[in-house]
Amino acid sequence: MKKHSVCHIEWSCTDLERTKTFLSSLFGWKFTPWGDDYLLFNTPEGPNGGIMKVDSVIPGKSPYIYIEVDEIEPYLEKAKEMGGGIDTPKKEIPKVGWFAHITDPDDNIIGLFESPKKE
């Protein structure tokens, strides 16, 4: 994946099966379980994504769009310098990489994703 490409889209939902049925019936997307409260989906040409079970969906806080970056930390600092903020600090996704959520000056959330370094 090229740096700064949209690499993942993530929806929040209160009912995984209902949302899976809705999206697969509407768009034909295929789903794969990934943990107890998460389903990955594939779109015909990408980007792919996931649906995550939450207790409640906050309007305007979903879906998240993730941008691929080389390293998350410089983007956290730059977002703050440019009038944005940090919604979720850098966290590990075991065996996958790391993510963080920044906000733009209007409080829109942007996801960042960092792949593990290849040795």
Q: Does residue 13 carry a pLDDT above 90?
A: yes
Q: How far apart are CA 59 and CA 52, in angstroms?
A: 15
**Model confidence pLDDT, tens digit, residues 39-96:** 999 888 888 999 999 999 987 788 889 999 999 999 999 999 999 999 999 999 999 9
Q: Is 69-119 a CATH 3.30.420.40 domain?
A: no
Residue 87 makes CB contacts below 8 A (sequence gap 6+) with 101, 102, 103, 109
Element holding 41 (H helix, E strand): strand 38-42
Average pLDDT over the chain, rounded to an integer: 90
Query: Is the pTM above the cut of 0.85?
Result: no
CB atoms within 10 A of CB 65: 15
CA angle at residue 103 from 86 to 46, to 5 degrees? 110
CA distances to 72, 83, 102 from 88, rounded to whole Å, are 12, 16, 7
Which token pair is 101?
């959520």
